[in-house]
């Protein structure tokens, strides 16, 4: 029970927080929760299965467009939300069969190319709104209740994130989770121990895509508008930086990394939009913070913030 204390405290604090936030801060809360959902999946993929993806935002986009397209064609919005993770996971299975034959930076570049191709196709697809974007996405409604304001979306994101973390935690603690640990350490040794390497790699790839797809579905209903420009390659890089900064191979790392990056970017955006600052200042500062944080973490905290704090706490306890 004592080990669950911090998790219960964080859950209670984040549950009580939304009514205390103003409109702009609620938006940050919602977007932060969505980012954590995507980063949890990426942390599973990179930290537990040892695979690198630079195209995670493509699954986020697929989930968003799935939910948006179904809802603008008069289907119930809740059906669109349920379909979002399923379609993203299905797409991951289809592309994952050939892509996961690659290793290391080859796989990273392949996933990056996947996102570029997807964005190019969506920008040319009139049925998806093309480069102008998909407009008129209704608010999410479930059983007659409409998620009409930011506060309701904040709690929807909280519930979706709790579900994501619960699923991820149970997988990590299960026998397949131990197989994934072995896979991340040595693929050859894991295969020799009977771990079905190919099946596990594809399953985690699809699961990480499903988490991103669910986040994308909520994003679509929250904003009511989608465009290819909403899912740039930089967004995928941002998720990687969040996972690395927080610490790969730990679910807490996804939460901490996403929180640090999102809050820093918000702070820099505020600074960059001050009177007298050039118009390109916010984007330049965002790029700078990703680069600087990534370099600093790799140099001084090579395993990320959460593993570093945990190791220090363990040393203090044992001394």
User: CB neighbours (10 Å) of residue 20?
Assistant: 8
**Residues contacting residue 290 through CB under 8 Å, at least 6 positions apart:** 237, 238, 241, 261
Give 139-196 pLDDT, tens digit per residue. 998 888 889 889 999 999 999 999 999 999 898 888 877 877 777 777 777 777 777 8
Report helix angle 104-124 to 233-246, nearest 10. Answer: 140
Average pLDDT in the chain: 86
Q: Residues 31, 261: contact at Cβ < 8 Å?
A: no
N-terminal to C-terminal alpha carbon distance within the chain:
24
Give 250-286 pLDDT, tens digit per residue. 888 888 988 988 888 888 777 777 777 777 777 777 7
pLDDT of residue 261: 86
- Structure-token match 């993929």, residue found: 45
User: How sure is the predictor about 205, in pLDDT bands with cuts at 50, 70 and 90?
Assistant: very high
Determine the average pLDDT of the residues in 296-312: 81
Query: Dihedrals φ, ψ of 146, to 5°?
Result: -105, 130
User: How sure is the predictor about 1, in pLDDT bands with cuts at 50, 70 and 90?
Assistant: low
């Amino acid at each position: 029970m004592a080990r669950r204390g911090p998790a219960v405290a964080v859950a209670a604090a984040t549950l009580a927080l939304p009514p205390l936030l103003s409109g702009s801060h609620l938006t940050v809360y919602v977007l932060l929760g969505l980012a954590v959902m995507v980063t949890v999946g990426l942390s599973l993929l990179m930290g537990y299965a040892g695979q690198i993806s630079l195209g995670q935002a493509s699954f986020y986009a697929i989930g968003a467009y799935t939910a948006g397209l179904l809802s603008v064609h008069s289907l119930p919005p809740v059906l669109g939300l349920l379909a979002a993770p399923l379609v993203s996971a299905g797409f991951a299975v289809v592309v994952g069969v050939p892509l996961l034959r690659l290793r290391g930076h080859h796989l990273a570049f392949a996933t990056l190319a996947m996102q570029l191709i997807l964005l190019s196709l969506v920008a040319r697809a009139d049925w998806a709104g093309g480069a102008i974007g998909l407009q008129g996405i209704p608010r999410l409604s479930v059983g007659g209740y409409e998620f009409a304001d930011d506060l309701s979306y904040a709690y929807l994101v909280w519930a979706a994130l709790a579900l994501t973390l619960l699923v991820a935690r149970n997988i990590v603690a299960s026998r397949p989770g131990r197989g994934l640990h072995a896979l991340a350490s040595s693929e050859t040794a894991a295969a020799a121990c009977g771990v079905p390497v190919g099946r596990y790699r594809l399953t985690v790839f699809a699961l990480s895509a499903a988490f991103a797809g669910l986040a994308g579905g909520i994003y679509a209903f929250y904003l009511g508008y989608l465009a290819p420009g909403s899912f740039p390659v930089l967004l995928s890089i941002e998720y990687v930086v969040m996972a690395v900064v927080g610490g790969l191979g730990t679910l807490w790392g996804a939460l901490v990394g996403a929180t640090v990056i999102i809050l820093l970017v918000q702070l820099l955006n505020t600074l960059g939009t001050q009177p007298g600052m050039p118009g390109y200042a916010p984007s330049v500062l965002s790029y700078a913070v990703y680069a600087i944080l990534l370099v600093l973490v790799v140099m001084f905290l090579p395993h990320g913030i959460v593993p570093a704090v945990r190791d220090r706490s363990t040393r203090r306890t044992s001394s």
